[in-house]
């Protein structure tokens, strides 16, 4: 079940939709993330650009 706050957000988006420039910007970010994910998945991502995981201390 959706919260009433989400319905209010949807109502605001319908009444005042984002500009075409903002929509293109969001899709560009999603595309860049998908390209990076694809490169890493296929093994073409360089090792120098990969972060090292640091273990937690308890």
Q: How far apart are CA 1 and CA 34, in angstroms?
A: 30
For the question of whether the overall pTM of this predicted structure is more than 0.85, the answer is no
Residues sharing a CB contact under 8 Å with residue 40, sequence separation 6 or more, in sequence order: 50
- Say which residues have a Cβ less than 8 Å from residue 36's Cβ, sequence separation at least 6: 45
Least confident stretch, 12-16, 21-25, 30-34, 47-51: 47-51
Number of other CB atoms surrounding residue 47 within 10 Å: 5
pLDDT band at residue 14, thresholds of 50, 70 and 90? very high
Q: What is the pLDDT of residue 58?
A: 67
Q: What is the pLDDT of residue 52?
A: 85
Phi, psi values for residue 4, rounded to 5°: -65, -25
């Amino acid at each position: 079940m959706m919260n009433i706050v989400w319905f209010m957000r949807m109502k605001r988006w319908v009444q005042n939709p984002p500009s075409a420039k903002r929509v293109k910007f969001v899709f560009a970010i999603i595309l860049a993330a998908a390209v990076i994910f694809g490169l890493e998945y296929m093994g073409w991502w360089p090792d120098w650009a990969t972060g090292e995981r640091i273990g937690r201390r308890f």
